[in-house]
Chain A
Amino acid sequence: MIQAIRPLIARIALAWLLGIFLALTGCRKTITSTPEATSYPGDNYPDIFQSFWNGMNTNYMFWGIDTTNWDNMYTVYKPLFDQLTIFDSAHEALAEQYFSQMTQGLIDSHYTLEFELTGNAFQPSTYRRLQQDPNYFTDSAFPAAVLDSLIPAKYIDPSSLVMGTDTVTLEGTSSPFTAVSGTIRGSILYLYFSSFALSQAGANTGPVLNYFFSKLRGYGQFKGIVIDLRGNGGGEVEDLDYLVGQMVTSQYTFGYTRYKNGVNRLDYTPWAPAVVKPWVGGSVNVTIPIVVLADHLSVSMSELTTMAIKTLPNGKFIGTRTWGANGPLTSSVYFDGGQFTIGSAAFGSGGYMFVYTSSSMFKYLNGDIYEGVGVPPDIYARETTAAYLSGDDLVLDAAIRYIGL
């Protein structure tokens, strides 16, 4: 019998071999080498679109939680960009409109498209806030200039007031840096500064910081400390340890960050602890209440600092929900994801467009991610124009009450 079926078995074995050969040659998907976004020529709109779409695919940090359908953007907008045949003002206006429409739902609240040909910019988070509330930036806002005048004039004990303004450079742009410190009713140590550029404090603001930190060393005379970050647009990460690290004597974790570690959208590193370390120049273990004031215009490092302070057992956040840009951001050379430029080959080092976006995703200690939604306050307090005009800072009043004066 076995001899009789021998030819059949041989045929089956041959078919098996053939099947293996066909499977070997036919089944794997082609592994294409998608270049870096910056490597595209960028000398026509379809190429710029492709470069941007791929750059976002690879570099954008929040695909894991963002609801924008990026594949759908490709399907919808590729044909539209294919119709843009030459660079002229009409086509450029359309291109900028398309790029803005593609990105308007992104939750990254640092995210900004900077169009180098026209100098225009589009920030989805600003767009969305103005859609929801046209008066977002005016109604009940508490601009830095107002803060400078009201608090020093009404709240700070005159004999203790120190304030000044210098010029600092953040991300290549010069801007005024104002700092105010002093005591309130002799029992609260107060500090305000307009951006996280503490390392750049000069002749006028250096004494303000020196005053605050020297008083901090002997904090026993106070009932509480107020750090005012309202309207603060953020800045250098190093300031976290420099400021908060001078109020603690042991390292602690207040959240986690993670980064991209591959080219596909969901390729992430594990969460790394975000820590505050005691400052290398010295620190004290502050046990009295530390109140951080922040509002809807507190952005980035202001928000991280707010979360770092509210994590402390004696920390409290008073104010309104913050802007919602907590993903730390640094130069694109440092991490796999984050900001990138497209069209450099055709348009020079500035490129056609710069995409400003977070380098990492931040998760607060409790597991919540506040990107795009902002950090909620522990105690809600909101300043109004009417209150300001009558000489009251409702948020600082809430802090004073909380401290118990």
Chain B
Amino acid sequence: MRKLTLYWAPTLLFLLCSLQGRCQLFLGVEGGPNMNYLTTSNASEPFTNYDGMRGWNIGIPVGYQFFDWLALETTPTYIHKNFDIVRTGFFTGVYQKNYNTYLQVPLNLRFSFGGKALRGFVDLGGYGAYWASGRIKGTEANILNEVDTAYQTVNPTSILGENYAYNYDQKYVFNSTKDNRMEFGLIGGAGISYELFQTYTFYLEGRYYRAMTDQQKQYEMNQAPRYNDNYGLTLGCTIKVKKLFSTLFSKK
């Protein structure tokens, strides 16, 4: 029932409003940096942290402005959801940066408030995303590349003093048993916008993408789930198509 509400309510809104002459189609471009965190359990991994990593996203917002206070929007987006596995203490120097690219399609309602030109807004909605590619870059201790082959019986102060580091920077190879390449989640955002000439809208928004599906398939009992939590800052500009056309093609 909840899913029906989420999926059909916007569609119904769209259909209803399409029948109305007052609907305003807008489209534009947006982009900005983001910070992604992998939320998981690492209680049984000593000296291991899952740290957030920066990335960026770029999207093409398309939407309908139903009323001054309500719009329906979708923004096909190319987005990074990166994270870093970092080992500490004796293991310092061992890490793996995970660069993941998703193609994401959100659908959200934008609730606006405020004056004519300068307005505040809140975005709420959901998204579906496809994990398109990945790259891993890191360092691991190489057990079959020993440092001490001269039997000097030194006491290493780090794992990389015991085994030479293996540095890698390579494409991530997906594992069909493990990796769940479809991701669904929720969007929450808030920002301010400024409308110029009643046609162009510039906006700055803080946005949170909360994955509700595990990054892995359920392939074992007692599996530690992994969720992306992505915090972004987006700068964008949209154009009201009808206004633009009427301006461009109006007879002077």
Contacts and interface: CB of A to CB of B under 8 A. Distances in A.
A373 to B, nearest CB: 20
17 contacts: A2-B22, A9-B17, A13-B109, A15-B5, A20-B126, A27-B213, A35-B44, A70-B221, A242-B151, A257-B144, A269-B138, A270-B140, A270-B168, A272-B144, A272-B166, A274-B145, A360-B143
A16 B124 contact: yes
A304 interface: yes
Contacts of A58: 44
A245 interface: yes
Given A33-B41, A34-B222, A17 B124 contact: yes
Contacts of A262: 45, 85, 224
A265 B149 contact: no
Interface of B: 2, 5-6, 9-10, 12-13, 16-17, 19-20, 22, 39-46, 48, 66-67, 70, 85, 90, 96, 109, 111, 124-126, 136, 138, 140-146, 148-151, 159, 162-163, 166, 168, 170, 175, 177-178, 186, 188, 210, 212-214, 216, 219-225, 227
Contacts of A146: none
A325 to B, nearest CB: 14
Interface in A170-220: 199
Contacts of B212: 23, 27-28
A362 B214 CA distance: 30
A37 B210 CA distance: 31
A199 B39 CA distance: 46
Contact of B219 (A12, A17, A265, A273): A265
Interface stretch (A88-96, A134-142, A330-338, A394-402): A330-338
Interface string A1-43: 1100110110011011111101110011101111111010000
Given A31-B41, A54-B44, A336-B45, A74 B221 contact: yes
Given A57-B222, A336-B45, 10 more contacts: A9-B67, A9-B70, A16-B10, A19-B6, A29-B214, A37-B44, A238-B151, A262-B85, A270-B168, A272-B166
B149 A270 contact: no
Nearest to B162: A334
Contact of B143 (A15, A27, A31, A335): A335
A71 interface: yes
Contacts of A12: 9, 12-13
Contacts of B41: 31-34, 263
B113 to A, nearest CB: 13
Given A33-B43, A257-B144, A259-B140, A19 B9 contact: yes
Interface string A54-73: 10011000000000001100
A186 B142 CA distance: 40
Given A261-B85, A273-B142, A328-B143, A20 B149 contact: no
Contacts of A328: 143-144
A279 interface: yes
Contact of B149 (A9, A28, A245): A245
B146 A330 contact: no
B140 A272 contact: yes
A261 B96 contact: yes
B220 to A, nearest CB: 5
B40 A241 contact: no
Given A35-B44, A58-B44, A328-B144, A280 B224 contact: no
Interface string A126-154: 00000000000000000000000000000
- Please give me the 6 A-B residue pairs with the lowest Cβ-Cβ distance, nearest first: A274-B144, A33-B43, A272-B166, A241-B149, A27-B212, A199-B151
Contacts of A161: none
Contacts of A341: none
A334 B45 contact: no
Nearest to B214: A29
A263 B175 contact: no
A36 B42 contact: no
Interface string A327-349: 01010011110000000000000
A330 B149 contact: no
B150 A281 contact: yes
A277 interface: yes
B149 A280 contact: yes
Contacts of A330: 143
| From B16, B144, B210, B223, residue with most partner A Cβ within 10 Å | B144
A19 B223 CA distance: 28
Contact of B144 (A70, A261, A281, A304): A304
